[in-house]
Structure 1
Amino acid sequence: MTPKYLLKRLGQAILTFFVTMTVSFLLYQAMPGGPTEAMRSVILSQSGGSVDIDRLNRMIQLYTNVNPDQPMHVQYFNYASDVILRQDLGTSFFKNEEVTTLIMQRIPWSMFISVYALALGYSLSIFLGVMTAYREKSRFDSTVSSLIIGLNSIPYYIVGVVLIYFLAIQNNYFPTGGRIGSGIAAGYNPEFMLSLVQHAALPAISMGALATSGALAMRGNAVRVLGEDYIRVAQLRGLRETRIATQYLGHNSILPMYTQFMIGIAGVFSSAVIVEEVFAYPGMGLLMFEAVKTQDYPLLMGTLLVFTAISLTAIFIADLTYTLIDPRISVGEE
């Protein structure tokens, strides 16, 4: 990996983050009912009377790190400086807490169900992709491929509603919402761990439905690998089919899936906004959804920036580490 390539990818990630922050900031300031009007409604509800302009401006600056009396470019520069240099995302209008604190409280839970979903979805995708390719044009191949296409044509939140109805309401196998059961003490004990996994199971399965689309990509990779000489040699040697499918076919077909897996982190995190609302799972996605409903602009802007940073970091790590899992790829060279 050349230093030139490393700096190029890092520069692209930083530029993308700043473009996202700039566009989002300008849209939030320009849209009807923006931060100024939202803060005005908060002060009116608290005071029950007219709004003093000076007090309104001071409150807006306190909560959003932006002074509405200043020109737009100065407002943006001050906001970007607070975000980059001091990691200050402002204060929530309605929760009256620092946005950074609220996000840090919720993000571990969103990361937990996201990793849970990716592990389930991609493990199933890799297995089904390899098996359908190895049994190409068989009844198993056509049936599984049709099921995957059908599953991915259904929105993931609909999958979540169906799971709640059949597995939580009708049969009571899983809880309908929350992070842990009531009355269970947090800690490294079996009761807490089991409750944690049970409450996260249905959101993870629902979000994991997004990742099963990788089975078709895995199948395509595996079909190409089937034509390689080392696969034919393994078959001629009389090796077991399971060994050929896993060690020879699966191992070499999974490499192109690595980048897709890292990019999938962004998709899973974005799907958490709706899934966490459906399952009442108090993660960062639900926090963002609440910010949209209450027009809590500092909180909405902060969660968007964190989602963007997570996605860019995952893609950047994928670019840097791909050569470690596949030395045949010469990153940065033609």
Structure 2
Amino acid sequence: MNGNYLLKRVGQAALTFVATVTLTFVLYRMMPGGPAQALENVILQQQSSGGNTIDPERIELLVSQYTNLESDAPLYEQYYQYMHSVFIEQDLGESLYSNDTVTHLLAERIPWSMLISVYAMVIGYTVSIVLGAMMAFKEKSRFDSISSVVLIGLNSTPYYVVGVLLIFFFSIRYEFFPRGGRVGLGIDPGFNLAFMQSIAYHAMLPVFSMSVLGLGTALTMRGNSVRVLGEDYLRVAKLRGLRNSRIATQYVGRNAILPMYTQFMIGIAGVLSSSVIVEEIFTYPGVGLLVYDAIQVRNYPVLMGSLIVFTLITVIAILIADLTYGFVDPRISTGGDNE
């Protein structure tokens, strides 16, 4: 890997990150009924329910204090203030409806979202790789046909539909699992068996629901394996008398998995962002539920902070995949003339 290629890829990643944040900032500000208007509506609803009246100038002052931006400031000044706060001061702002900083809210919730996201991704991709390889070895068999139909059906079914069905059958109808939360009531947090069991118990349904996202790669693994099975070096390996297990793992499996490496890295961000709907369905207090609640009340700082984190994870995952694919698959020349 040459230095120019590395600088080019890092520069593209940085430019993509800044451009995404900038575009989202502008879209949020140009949308009718922005965060300032949402906060004004909340204040007006509170005063109407309490029978009190607040002077419009007082409302304007409260909005300015909460949003940390002048509502009548030009868009470019608001943009400069926000970008300076994020990139220079490393400050994502404060939530409009609490005294907590966005950084604190995200740091508190991201580990829980990563817990269910990582386990779902690992389970989904592991099952897909094993199932795809078995389908390729038994190509055109009944097992291959039935598995293909089932996988196509699952791949066409939204993961949140699976989540709703899981809630209905296993939480409401049969009460095997809890309907929400991440830890049972009355359990002391800490490194103890009861706490760990409660975490796993509450995370099981969200993990199973999100793991459906990774099952679609089984068809990709099957196609890669079928293509590899027709290569000449496999015939040579069989003529050499190598064991079938060695041929399956070192020749077929290894070469079939390589094209899925980039897809796996991008899937890291995809699974995390999909937690928004899953956590709302299962009432799982992670960053996804935080984002969903922020959307309902247009909590602008929380939405922008979450977007920055999701964008950063996506850009870094793609950058790592781009820079390391040449090491994973030596047949690909990273940074050469043909990128």
- Give the structure-1-normalised TM-score: 0.93
Higher mean displacement: 189-198 or 39-48: 39-48
1:151-230 equivalences under 5 Å are 151-230=154-233
Cα contact 1:44–1:51 (8 A) shared by 2 = no
The total of aligned residue pairs comes to 333
Within 2, Cα distance between the matches of 1:30 and 1:259?
Answer: 35
* Structure 1 residue 279 displacement after superposition: 0.5
Please state whether the residue corresponding to 1:181 is helix, strand or coil: coil
Corresponding position: 1:270 with 2:273: yes
Corresponding position: 1:49 with 2:53: yes
Corresponding position: 1:260 with 2:255: no
Within 1, Cα distance between the matches of 2:174 and 2:36?
Answer: 49
Higher mean displacement: 208-217 or 161-170: 161-170
Please state whether the residue corresponding to 2:333 is helix, strand or coil: coil
Could you say if the C-alpha distance between residues 79 and 60 of structure 1 is closer, same or farther in structure 2, counting changes exceeding 3 Å?
farther
Q: Deviations over 1:85-128 (max 9, x none)?
A: 12212211123321111111101111111101100100011011
* Structure 1 residue 314 displacement after superposition: 1.2
Within 2, Cα distance between the matches of 1:229 and 1:174?
Answer: 51
Please state whether the residue corresponding to 2:274 is helix, strand or coil: helix
Corresponding position of 2:92: 89
Cα contact 1:65–1:79 (8 A) shared by 2 = no
Cα contact 2:36–2:67 (8 A) shared by 1 = no
* Structure 1 residue 229 displacement after superposition: 2.6
Higher mean displacement: 239-248 or 21-30: 239-248
**Unaligned 5+ runs, structure 1:** none
Cα contact 1:62–1:91 (8 A) shared by 2 = no
Give, as a single letter, the amino acid of the residue that structure 1 aligns with 2:32. P
* Structure 1 residue 237 displacement after superposition: 4.1
Give, as a single letter, the amino acid of the residue that structure 2 aligns with 1:33. G
Within 2, Cα distance between the matches of 1:132 and 1:236?
Answer: 24
Cα contact 2:5–2:335 (8 A) shared by 1 = yes
Partner of residue 149 from structure 1, selected from 148, 152, 163 = 152
**Unaligned 5+ runs, structure 2:** none
Corresponding position of 1:69: 72
Give, as a single letter, the amino acid of the residue that structure 2 aligns with 1:284. V
Cα contact 1:177–1:281 (8 A) shared by 2 = yes
Corresponding position of 1:297: 300
Give, as a single letter, the amino acid of the residue that structure 2 aligns with 1:3. G
Corresponding position of 1:311: 314
Corresponding position of 1:20: 20
Q: Deviations over 1:188-207 (max 9, x none)?
A: 22222222112111111111
Identity %: 58
* Structure 1 residue 183 displacement after superposition: 1.5
Corresponding position of 1:251: 254
